A and B are shown apart, each in its own frame.
Chain A
Amino acid sequence: MNVPASRKWHFFHHQMFRAMKMTTVLLTVFCLQLSAAAFSQQYSVSEKNASLEAVLKKISVQSGYLFLFDSKQMKMAKPVTVDVRNASLDAVLQQCLAGQPFTYELINKTIVIKLKAAPARKPAPEAAVADTVKGLVTNAAGEPLPGVSVGIKGTAKGTVTDVTGRFTLRDADEGAVLVFRMIGFQPLETKAAAGSAMNIVLQAEQSKLDEVVVVGYGSQKRSDLTGSISSVKGEQLSAQAVRSPMQALTGLAPGIQVMQNSGEPGGALSVRVRGGNSLIGGNEPMYVIDGFPVTGSLESLNPSDIQTIEVLKDASATAIYGSRGANGVVLVTTKKGRSGRTEVVYDGYYGFQQVTKKVDMLNAQEFAALANVRAKNDNEAPFFTDAEIAAFGNGTDWQYEIFRTAPIQNHSLAVSGGNDKTRFNISASYFDQAGIIINSYFNRAQVRAAIEHNISDKWKVSFNNIMSRTKSNFLFSNNTERGAGVLSGALIVPPTVGVYNADGTYSNVRKYPFSPDIAENPVAMALERKNTMARNELLTNVFLEGKLLPDLVFRTSVGIQYANSRTDAYSPTIFQPSAKGSASIGYSENMNLVNENTLTYNKTFNKDHSLTVLAGLTAEKNKTQNLTASASGFLTNTLENNSLQSGSTPGIPQSNSNEYAILSGLSRVNYGYKGKYLLTASLRADGSSRFGKANRWGYFPSAAIAWRVSEEPFWQGLKDVVNDLKLRGSWGITGNTAVSPFQSLAILSSVQTVLDESLYIGFAPGTVRPNPELKWETTRQIDAGIDIGLFGSRVNVGIDFYSKQTNDLLSSVPVHASTGYSSTIRNLGTVQNKGIDISVQSNIFGEGDFTWDLGANFSMNRNKVITLSGGTDIFGETLGNTLPAMSLVREGYPIGVFYGYVENGLNANGQIVYQDLDKNGVINGLDRTIIGDPNPDFIIGLNSRMRYKQFDLNILVTSIQGVDLLNYNLSNVADGFSFGINQMRDVLGNYWTAENPDPNAKYPKISKTTRYLGSDRHIEDASYVRVKNIQLSYTLKSDVKLIRGGSQVYLAVQNPFTFTRYSFYTPEINTRGSGISKGIDQFGYPDARSLMLGLKIRL
């Protein structure tokens, strides 16, 4: 794509020559720092038949003056022949412009070349004179902007602002729409107002390369980065109907996988940056909000308060966070106030959600008929007579009974503004999501304030405060089985039973002798059990920043993160396991105190050598305390759990207390030569209280280099095509403290027993064998990256290759229970993650009424266990009663591969035959093999933004390919009816019968003696392509009465389409969360499809 010469704009400077395209033909210049070098007073120019442009360029180089001209007008220039020696600038210019239709004007260091005044026009009619529009254009800081194009929309008429930023437009009809454009600023449309002077403020639009990127303990220009960092803008997050900003990140940044454990409102998320390194749950990235490291995630943040999110991926970027950087670091910058006119923004949506899919289960007649098939196969009398079966009809659709169309809404109101000294941004928001399963919900109310004040020219103080309250009601759903939870109940209880008895009480769903003994009425479980959690969180911090020397900045911060949460549970008298009510209250408090102190020295030597040195000390202390009280034996449900003393039997209160501390020193050097050769090196030392004294301190170095090839002289010829090319390489070590406090100590815990009729206390070790030799888990990462900007940064490509190796992997390892312990924590081996992240952002149509931005992200990660100490396999956790642990860590394979038996059809009795892999004639544990991999081959994200005039269509598509899920649900709902629970309709006609003994039938014999083991039957390909979000918006371009331009109304659909072969609700599920046992769907709360109407009003 070559840009026609006529559409280029130019400015000349004694040090620079740049060619960039612009949408208007007007040439403008925006502030560049001029060197303080002295300008020569005498100039010599000698040219023959040269273009005026070329001559002016030479003068610019000699003089250091900037030239400002319209390149379209420049076509009117005649060739220049000039020969002056040691003349003044004035004389030189006079010579050059002799005979040209131009004149010039010198303003400060800028020379504006303009057309000579046109001959006097015919006198304008009276009315037209009245239509003269005047005004002043400034930037957000209130500084006047010269050279801004002011056009009348739909006409060729227009003008340019003068040096003082003022413009005058004749012939503008009252009500005409004026368009203000300037490179580096967002275009603005507004109605012309005749008479009074208009005040126009243009907002800066940063070019990709000059964009400032937040990095650990500082910020850098994107062009100066040496590390691998993905940035996502707040506006890309806020339009999605999600609770947590992290949920919206899926598909927007390469190398990041965001998995929701389930679709439950308020349910946990697991986030993986470049795959998981660690085995014991320490795979979540570290979160830093406005420079403040937080414990936990971003749950208390409203997505619309976010300015940007930066995800630090390679070790060069994360090593400054040392012991917590191994899983990547997510830096969140919240919106700040800007000086200028106070802005009030309402941003909100309201919508509805529905389950994306239902699982097709047997109806009552089919269920009863299948029960009779089982009875017949087991030589038992039929459970149901033909007449009973005929009377059942369709029976109860339990899924219909628990699912609902649920509202979701979010409202936020923000006020921001300020002046030169003080800037503020204050907001309040409310998010409310009702779950698609009855009685589940999550809501969050939050207020936030960010205030910044310049104490003096040198000192600045800022205060950030977020207070939030969240409340949710969780259903007992995930990771249950055989009807013990709401969803498993809805799927497995007999459709022949109604929800209620005739008297309005809940029906007994264990009606038949074959009914599972732990099943409960799912509607009763959802509606009548209370399991709420209310959490208050305060995140507050104060920064003081000052210049000790002109180039030395000191910054100190104190932050407090305080959270308390209360869980309230009550199980009323209607349930079998608690025919008397049982209640509990849990209370926990967490306090995290952080103090960080840094010194930053930043100086450019001899114009070419830029140096930034950072040094700092930080300290962090965290304390958690819990208290739980319970009681049971309530005779009435009225009091619920609000009066524990009303229960006849008090429970034993439980309390515990945890504490840890981290003390760190950090340092970093950034060096750049001519902005071409960039070097970063950092070192952090962390001391953690979680480790034994001998292994307490860990040291985390990193180094990175980058070469901006496109800044080399030899590249200049290629700049029209490849305007930016940067090669990066980095190496570094990061750590992981993912061990619970006190695990290195031999600890005795209290246990109780009964003697006589009283409780007695004993002390014994827990089930985890202590290990005093625990040490840091460290991750060594190398990264090679390339950043390419094509066609004037119209297409930006970033490619990173990385290889991470995690040593001394900390893992919870099962031990033989005959020792009396069930597991231990060990440093046990090495895991490798290798992969590629690619991101492409392109501006396919950049101009005119229709614009189209298209972006794609591609990530590929290969995880492999290199060594395990002793070479012994590690098994995941036991999942439930119907399937054993099927996750495995084995040398040479990815973490958490599925391990089980391979099926080989059915035998003559309709029972599953397993392959005798070791050929010893017996099917036992040795016949298990690796049968699936929950680690995806590829993750792909596509985002498209099409704009036509004021309409804006955003589409986000995500896809995960080559991933397996363990569909635990099949061991319940497709188990040959062996547990007497309802089956998927797919079973009908597909099961083995004596009449048609098909060895390849999909399902075995319907019988209570039908057995199965954890096999490939339960592993499914869960690759999917999902259209995650479609949003259509209409944006007000210019002010209308009170409402400012930029106000917006939109319609959005979340999860409208999913293409997958996965047979259950959703392939985006991971009910066991982090750890080895991943990629498991054990009756996970399904996710929702939602439709929302949103509104953003700027006042």
Chain B
Amino acid sequence: MKPNILFILAFSIFFTACSKFLDEVPVDRLATENFYKNADDARSAVNAIYQPFRAGIFRGPYFLQVEIMADYAEGRGSTSIIGEYKGLDVVNITRVASIWDGLYRAVRNANIAIENIPGVPAMGEADKNALLAEARFLRALAYYHLVRHWGRVPLYLSTQTASSPRKPEEEVYNAIYDDLKYAEANLPPKGAQYGRPGVGAAKSLMAEVYLTQGKWELARDKADEVITSGAFSLVNIAKADDWNNVFGPTVNGTPEEVFYIKFNQLDGWEWPHNLLWSETTFSPFGNYVIYSTLDNKFLNAWDPQDLRKQWDIFTEYINRKTGVLEQLPAPTPVLFSKWRDPAAPTLTGHGNDYPLLRYADVLLIYAEAAVMAEGTPSAKALEQLNKIHRRAYGHPWNAPSAADYPATGWSKESFRDAVLQERAYELFMEGKRWLDLKRSGKVKTVIKANKGKDVQDVHMYWPIPQQEIDTNPDISQADQNTGY
């Protein structure tokens, strides 16, 4: 009997000895308490802001939503309803909800970085401020996209905010300006890597935000600061294939690169496959979700001599298997070839970067803002427009050419229209056209003229995701955008 009792006692002792038996130590994740201790931690907190930005938004679904609404594209299959301008259906409501989620996740990651970096020990103030500026630049970028597509949106500038109602657009814009001003003051002249913002990026984005709000002088001056800084220039184009030096999959750090969302084949871009077709030599993949028609007035008016048109769209192609020149199938007679990566390993693996802020954009911002501020196009404004235009016809960008616009005969409106049209050609398939039409108040007339469709009011804003309404105590169904 006694040995048996000892046996049981031994078990009890075994358990007492294992008092740490129930302590949980995750070995494959980091706990918040042990993080934000040095410069590497701080930098990785900032790196984390990029991920939701890229993954759920600018990798693919964002462009489906904004480019099918442009006056030169149609959507196939489930995206076709986007191009009907009657509001979104349930499929596309789900898609824009994922964009909302991603943008706010970027905001959250930015807020976490902004709150934790000041307390990081053993790190210089200047280094901290540079990282804070990077985080605030990205937060501004997120809100800039939110406010334009949803209008009034919740505003979180701290992780301590548990919930937020839809704030007036002006309040959101003010937060954007605050962040960008801080970024402008504290960012390094040039980001440590391409893909990180430098001062030029902050100024360029600020110029675009001013332009969006019609603050013409401010937009003009900010764009001018970028131009006169001399940090950027255009790449010369002699023939259509030279665009590969601007948009190609392996290009990194062209003089035009102000702030790009960076992709490589390992962590690549999904968007191009929505444009292409796997039989072509442009990419081994292709979903050709976006296409255009042979009677599209925008495309038909586009001068075939424009090297951008030659690079950007196609109706026939060389079959990658047979080598034979073939016509695109009748249902999708026009497809878009601006983003090409013949070596893309997967459909989400295109190496091209997404040029969120390109120097060409800055030049055109100057041109438009200047004429709107000044009433007539100045020589300087005209020159910015010409830089873009002459390059598109194969001329050196910084010398007058035969392709230049006439120096006279402009009204404020006609010049602005010319700039907007130039933007449409130059920034084709870069997600800018719909927003340009929207901010300039030309959506309804232009869409009607080029596509023959009436844009209903409901289509002007995306719906607040139902989950947000259902779970945010500060937003009720009555706060939903009109028409949803």
Q: State the CA gap A746–B112 with chains docked (Å).
A: 13
User: Chain B contacts of A549 at CB under 8 A?
Assistant: 1
The complex places the Cα of A660 from the Cα of B288 at a distance, in Å, of: 48
> Which residues of chain A are near B33, meaning CB under 8 Å?
746
Flag whether B154 is at the interface (Cβ < 8 A).
Answer: yes
Report how far A821 CA is from B153 CA in the complex, Å.
16
In angstroms, Cα B347 to Cα A619, docked, is 49
In A518-538, which residues have CB < 8 Å from any B CB?
518
How many angstroms from the CA of A510 to the CA of B279 in the assembled complex? 14
CA distance A1056 to B321 in the complex (A): 50
Q: Judge whether B136 is part of the interface by a CB distance below 8 angstroms.
A: no
Do A819 and B267 have beta carbons less than 8 Å apart?
A: no
B466 and A925 within 8 A (CB): yes
Cβ–Cβ < 8 Å partners of B100 in chain A: 817-818
Name which of B18, B45, B47, B86 has the most chain A CB atoms within 10 A of its CB.
B47
Which residues in B have their C-beta under 8 angstroms from that of A765? 32, 108, 112
A632 CB contacts on chain B under 8 angstroms: 345-346, 349
Given A763-B30, A764-B45, A512 and B331 contact (CB-CB distance below 8 Å): yes
CA distance A662 to B18 in the complex (A): 12
Q: Which residues of B contact A651 (CB under 8 A)?
A: 266
Whether B346 pairs with A649 at a CB distance below 8 angstroms is: yes
In the assembled complex, the CB of A968 is this many whole angstroms from the nearest CB of chain B, namely 12
With A762-B50, A764-B45 already in contact, the answer to whether A925 and B480 are too (CB < 8 A) is: yes
- With the chains together, A814 CA to B347 CA distance in Å? 31
A617-B11, A755-B194, A979-B78 known; A745 vs B31 contact (CB < 8 Å): yes
Residues in A neighbouring B78, C-beta threshold 8 A: 482, 516-517, 881, 979
Instruction: Write the nearest CB–CB distance from B328 to chain A, whole angstroms.
Output: 11
Please tell me if the beta carbons of A875 and B262 are within 8 angstroms of each other in the complex. no
Q: Tell whether, in the assembled complex, residue B1 and residue A548 are in contact, meaning their CB atoms are under 8 Å apart.
A: yes
Q: Across the interface, do A820 and B195 meet the contact criterion of CB distance under 8 Å?
A: no
Q: Does B41 contact A (CB under 8 A)?
A: yes
Interface string of B95-113 (1 = CB under 8 A from A): 1010011001101110110
Q: How far is A270 from B93 in the complex, measured between Cα atoms in Å? A: 32
> Does A760 interact with chain B (Cβ within 8 Å)?
yes
CB within 8 Å of B: which A220-277 residues: none
The residue from A579, A633, A746 contacting B278, defined by CB atoms under 8 A apart: A579
Q: Does A752 contact B (CB under 8 A)?
A: yes
In contact, B163 and A756 (Cβ under 8 angstroms) = no
Tell whether, in the assembled complex, residue A513 and residue B332 are in contact, meaning their CB atoms are under 8 Å apart.
yes
Asked whether A926 lies within 8 Å of B477 as measured between CB atoms, the reply is: yes
Residues of B within 8 A of A661 (CB): 21-22
Chain B residue total in the interface (Cβ 8 A): 104
B163-184 to A contact mask, C-beta < 8 Å, 1/0? 1100000000000000000000
Tell whether A881 pairs with B346 under 8 Å between CB atoms, given A516-B77, A1009-B81: no
Q: Is B162 an interface residue (CB 8 A)?
A: yes
Which residues of chain A have C-beta atoms less than 8 A from B86's C-beta? Answer: 1009
**B51 touches which of A582, A751, A1012 (Cβ 8 Å):** A751
Which A residues touch B267, using CB under 8 A? 652, 752-754, 759
Checking A577, A648, A741, A816 against B347 with a beta-carbon cut-off of 8 angstroms, the contacting residue is A577
Give the residues in chain B near A577, CB-CB below 8 Å.
Answer: 273, 285, 287, 346-347
- A760–B163 CA distance with the chains assembled, in angstroms: 31
Given A516-B78, A752-B267, the answer on whether A745 and B15 have CB atoms closer than 8 Å is no
B-facing residues in A107-135 (Cβ within 8 Å): none
Residues A554 and B4 in contact, CB atoms below 8 Å apart:
yes
A-side interface residues, number (CB < 8 Å) = 100
Quick one: which of B31, B105, B109, B332 has the most chain A CB within 10 A?
B105
Contacts of A660 in B (CB 8 A): 24
| Residues 34-77 of B contacting A (Cβ, < 8 Å) | 35, 41, 44-51, 54, 76-77
Query: Would you call B264 and A757 a contact (CB within 8 A)?
Result: yes
Binary flags per residue of A976-1008, CB closer than 8 Å to B gives 1, else 0: 001110000000000000000000000000001
Nearest residue, chain B, Cβ from A918: B477
Does B446 have its Cβ within 8 Å of any Cβ on chain A? no
Stretch at the interface among A35-43, A60-68, A196-204, A685-693: A685-693
Q: Which residues of B contact A752 (CB under 8 A)?
A: 51, 267
* Set of chain B residues within 8 Å of A872, measured between Cβ atoms: 471
Q: A649-B265, A748-B32 are in contact. Are A1008 and B81 (CB under 8 A)?
A: yes
In whole angstroms, how far apart are the Cα atoms of A441 and B450 in the complex? 54
The listed residue (B25, B31, B471, B472) touching A748 by CB distance below 8 A is B31
| A688 pairs with B484, CB closer than 8 A | no
- Indicate the member of B1, B101, B291 with the most A CB atoms within 10 Å: B101
What CA separation (Å) do A689 and B467 show in the bound complex? 32
Cross-chain contact B90 with A881 (CB below 8 angstroms): yes
Q: List, in ascending order, chain B residues with CB within 8 A of A741's CB.
A: 24, 26
> Could you mark each residue 720-750 of chain A with 1 if its beta carbon is under 8 Å from any beta carbon of chain B, else 0?
0000000000000000000001100111110
Q: Interface digits, A562-585 against B, CB 8 Å rule (1 contact, 0 not)?
A: 000000000000001111101000
* Cβ–Cβ contact A748 & B30, under 8 A: yes
* A1013 interface contact, C-beta 8 A: yes
Q: Flag whether A330 is at the interface (Cβ < 8 A).
A: no
Does A513 contact B331, Cβ atoms closer than 8 Å?
Answer: yes
Cα A548 to Cα B477 with chains together (Å): 70
Contact call B44/A761, Cβ cutoff below 8 A? yes
B91 touches A881 (CB 8 A): yes
A884 CB–B CB distance under 8 Å: yes
Q: How many Å from the CB of A244 to the closest CB on chain B?
A: 31
Whether a CB of chain B sits under 8 angstroms from the CB of A696 is yes
- Do A756 and B252 touch (CB < 8 A)? yes
Chain A 532-561 per-residue mask, 1 if CB under 8 angstroms from chain B, else 0: 000000000000000011000010000000
Chain A nearest CB, measured from B131 CB (Å):
12
Best-surrounded residue of A554, A753, A760, A761 (most CB of chain B within 10 A): A753
Are A818's CB and B104's CB within 8 A?
A: yes
Given A597-B11, A755-B195, A763-B35 in contact, is the A819-B29 Cβ separation under 8 Å? no
Q: Which of B465-484 contact A (CB under 8 A)?
A: 465-472, 475, 477, 480, 484
In the complex, what residues of A have CB within 8 A of residue B156's CB?
A: 818-820
A751 CA to B29 CA in the complex, in Å?
11
**B286, CB-defined interface residue at 8 Å:** yes
Contact A764 B90 (CB under 8 A): no
- A663 to B266, Cβ gap below 8 A? no
- CB pair B112–A548 under 8 Å, yes or no, is no
Contacting residues, chain A, for B303 (C-beta < 8 A):
none
Say yes or no: A758-B468 contact (C-beta < 8 A), given A576-B278, A980-B77: no
Question: In the complex, how many angstroms separate the beta carbon of B314 from the nearest chain A beta carbon?
Answer: 17
Q: How far is the CA of A688 from the CA of B154 in the complex (A)?
A: 39
B25, B32, B50: the one within 8 Å of A746 (CB): B32
Q: Are A762 and B29 in contact (CB under 8 A)?
A: no
Contacts of B51 in A (CB 8 A): 751-753, 762, 764
CB distance from A470 to the nearest CB of B (A): 27
Known: A582-B346, A820-B104, A979-B77. 16 other contacts (CB 8 A): A517-B79, A579-B284, A617-B12, A687-B22, A753-B47, A753-B51, A754-B54, A755-B194, A758-B264, A815-B471, A816-B475, A822-B101, A875-B467, A924-B480, A1009-B86, A1011-B90
Chain B positions within 8 Å of A, measured between CB atoms, are 1, 4, 7-8, 11-12, 15, 18, 21-33, 35, 41, 44-51, 54, 76-81, 84, 86, 89-91, 93-95, 97, 100-101, 104-105, 107-109, 111-112, 153-154, 156, 162-164, 193-196, 250, 252-253, 262-267, 273, 278, 284-289, 291, 331-332, 343, 345-347, 349, 351, 465-472, 475, 477, 480, 484
User: Interface of A with B (CB < 8 Å)?
Assistant: 383, 482, 510, 512-518, 548-549, 554, 576-580, 582, 597, 599, 617, 619, 621, 632-633, 647-652, 655-663, 687-690, 696, 741-742, 745-749, 751-765, 767, 813-822, 872-873, 875, 878, 881-885, 924-926, 978-980, 1008-1009, 1011-1014
Q: List 20 A-B contacts (CB under 8 A).
A: A577-B273, A582-B345, A659-B24, A663-B15, A741-B24, A745-B31, A747-B32, A748-B32, A752-B51, A755-B47, A763-B35, A816-B475, A817-B465, A818-B100, A818-B154, A881-B90, A881-B94, A882-B91, A925-B470, A1012-B90
